[in-house]
Amino acid sequence: MHLYGTQAIDAEGHLTIGGVRAVDLARRFGTPLYVLDEELIRQNCRAYVDAFRSAWPDFIVAYAAKAFLCTAMAALVHQEGLYLDVVSGGELITALRAGVPAERLIFHGNNKTPEELDLALRAGVGRIVVDSFSELDLLADMAAEREVRPRIALRITPGVEAHTHHYIATGQLDSKFGIPIAGGAGLEAVRRALETPAVDLVGLHCHIGSQILDLGGYEVTAARMVDFMAAVQRETGWTCPELNLGGGLGVRYTAEDRAPTPAELVAVLTRTVRARCEAHELPLPRLVVEPGRSIVGEAGTTLYTVGAIKEIPGVRTYVAVDGGMGDNPRPALYQARYDAVVANRAAEPRIRLVTVVGRTCESGDVLIRDLPVPETIARGDILAVQVTGAYNYSMASHYNRFPKPAVVLVRDGEADVVVERETWEDLLRFDRMPERLRAGVAWR
Ligand SMILES: Cc1ncc(COP(=O)(O)O)c(C=O)c1O
């Protein structure tokens, strides 16, 4: 088992995070509970910023809010000097509400609605990343009408298949995202944007996937993008001032994973871009990256209370917890693997295997298959599933009408709720009863 960030095991064999015992957090705030390690989030932000600072003249690190967002998270990464990449009106207003200046927002999405674009234009977001020709036309019309000139980047598909689960590989030609270099569409999009006075083209963007553990894909992508910048300059005379290479760096979900560090990623990107720029005699562009998972993933731990335990002799032991695919859909969606520790027995040797399941009405609601646990695991124990900071809360659902858990930020022995636990009343809040259904029983 690997301990992340400020996780530790205290003298009584309890897991602590941010100097607080997991069992105390569970008692105080209830379970399931997402716990975020503030110190580790800050360290991860700084790892990117420090790596760029020593290697590149002008750069932006933008936190990809889709990994996890609430107003406190937006404020935290903003404090660390990061920009925010947002993909919806909801993420956009969350960042604004947290006090992030609009010019520090990068707005993505393959099908932004007119309502969202209107919000972005009114707020004056720093960059709108245009994903298609049709969006370029829509945005140009909307901008002209409002007499504003948004700064845009074009999302380019470099044709790279990152070594990752195919559901989350987006840089290849056959993708719903972006405008491909292949076939000349990318060049045509640049031409079109330059000829559109209503928008101000400030850069090019790409993103090749997520949970990428092999930096080779980044090297090929960075080279391809600079080659494209050179082709664009040759054909149009436009020198691209800003190159956004997206996010996607993987994290260590289990002890077997080997994840490169942000510094290793930045080294590959800066080395490649510098070499290709020199080869093409291009000035060094401002570099932008958009890490999400690698900022917040390892900083998250989900605490569950163990409930029913079902032993099928000779087959397996099922340990059911009080959450599941509603708060962590990744195992069901992507066969994602996790490790976990019994927080109140964290120092005991893990000598037998159990399968951890949730409580939604789906046989596929398996959080962890074959998790090593101590000899004893019992109802009421607190199970801490690690590395749940990214794409857990943000992908949570109300399936089976389970309220969403609270999110707590821990640091130096302090714990603060940053998202309240939902209640059953919250679940009923948007229900409406048509008059004809109020009358009572119709079948009598
Ligand atoms: C455009 C873009 N940028 C950044 C990210 C963040 O990716 P990750 O959380 O893997 O770093 C994503 C997520 O897929 C994305 O689509």
pLDDT tens figures, 194-243: 999 999 999 999 999 999 999 999 999 999 999 999 999 999 999 999 99
127 lines ligand 1 (CB under 6 A): no
- Spell out, as residue ranges, where the chain has pLDDT lower than 70: 163-172, 442-444
- Phi, psi angles (nearest 5°) of residue 100: -75, 125
- Phi, psi angles (nearest 5°) of residue 418: -110, -20
pLDDT at 431: 97
The 10 Å CB-count burial string (b at 16+, else e) for 133-158 is eebbebbbebbeeeeeebbbbbbbbb
Distance 248 CA to ligand 1 centre (A): 5
Q: Which residues are bridge partners to 286 per DSSP? A: 242
> Does the domain at residues 108-291 carry the CATH identifier 3.90.1200.10?
no
Number of the ligand 1 atom closest to the C-alpha atom of 209: 14
171 lines ligand 1 (CB under 6 A): no
131 lines ligand 1 (CB under 6 A): no
Q: How far apart are CA 4 and CA 70, in angstroms?
A: 22
Number of the ligand 1 atom closest to the C-alpha atom of 290: 4
Which amino acid is located at 236 in the chain?
A: T
Q: Tell me, what DSSP letter sits at residue 261?
A: P
Q: Whose Cα sits closest to atom 16 in ligand 1?
A: 207
For residue 32, whether the previous peptide bond is cis, meaning omega lies within 30 degrees of 0, is: yes
Ordered by start, the domain boundaries in the chain are 8-37+297-428, 108-291
pLDDT exceeding 70 applies to what percent of the chain? 97
pLDDT at 1: 87
pLDDT at 201: 98
pLDDT at 217: 95
| Same fold for the pair 8-37+297-428 and 108-291 | no
Q: Which residues are bridge partners to 373 per DSSP? A: 352
Tokens of 433: 């009863």
Distance 394 CA to ligand 1 centre (A): 13
- Does the pTM surpass 0.85? The reply is yes
pLDDT at 160: 83
Distance 183 CA to ligand 1 centre (A): 25
Distance 52 CA to ligand 1 centre (A): 19
pLDDT at 165: 56
Q: Mark whether 206 is an active-site residue.
A: no
Distance 247 CA to ligand 1 centre (A): 5
Question: 3-class DSSP state for residue 213?
Answer: coil
Contact 300, 389 (CB under 8 A): yes
Q: Whose Cα sits closest to atom 10 in ligand 1?
A: 248
Number of the ligand 1 atom closest to the C-alpha atom of 248: 10
Q: Which CATH architecture has domain 8-37+297-428?
A: Beta Barrel (2.40)
pLDDT at 171: 59
DSSP E strand boundaries for 241-365: 242-244, 286-289, 300-312, 316-321, 340-342, 352-357
- Phi, psi angles (nearest 5°) of residue 289: -130, 160
pLDDT at 410: 98
Q: Whose Cα sits closest to atom 14 in ligand 1?
A: 210
pLDDT at 444: 59
